[in-house]
Chain A
């Protein structure tokens, strides 16, 4: 039933309802189809065979199928060959290689700058209120 040259209608998928012809039998279940549908492998369970067959060589090219289909007034789906889009390649920053020091010479150690300590100013307790001043005065008196 599903031999090369058999016209079929695809009943499943986005190409459903479109006529196609079997180009090649790949497996018990899987065939290669072409025509109004895309040129693709297909399960025979997704095909409804028609009564008509056409003369086609096995593994016929897309142009041969196109010539046959134009006789029936059917429009063959043409897929344009994909063009690889040119993308601007990213320019990576080059890493600067460290300069190698020959053996024997030691690397100079970085001399850490000594911190200059700021002179600590001793703060004298400031007398704020009159009562504190009085308390401080009493303490001094006691010490004497």
Chain B
């Protein structure tokens, strides 16, 4: 009999074969939503789709692109934003 918390669909179900040859259902956490751009809402590339506890153990370079606004804005929105900033500034 499964524990009560596993009866809801909060957890996803994975069929596994145990070392003894039995087929069982194991309950795993669902993956979080894909990270999206703050400007246009596009799915961000180079940002892992993993739980917080897994991301914490990753190196910094694996978490986001190494450019300004990396991991927040997509590359298109970043270019547009920096262009606007460059046209306003006067050296």
Chain A, range 5-58, C-beta contacts under 8 Å to B: 7, 9, 11-14, 16-17, 19, 48, 50-52
Query: A137 interface residue, CB < 8 Å from B?
Result: no
Chief secondary structure at chain B's binding surface? helix
A14 and B67 within 8 A (CB): yes
Q: 0/1 per residue, B75-91, Cβ < 8 Å to A?
A: 10011001101110011
B91 and A52 within 8 A (CB): yes
The chain A residues found within 8 Å of chain B, CB to CB, are 7, 9, 11-14, 16-17, 19, 48, 50-52, 72, 74
B: interface residue count bin: 10 to 19
Residues of B within 8 A of A72 (CB): 91
**Extra pairs beyond A9-B83, A17-B82 (18, CB < 8 Å):** A9-B85, A9-B86, A11-B79, A11-B82, A12-B67, A12-B75, A12-B79, A14-B66, A16-B78, A16-B79, A16-B82, A17-B68, A17-B85, A48-B82, A48-B83, A48-B87, A51-B90, A72-B91
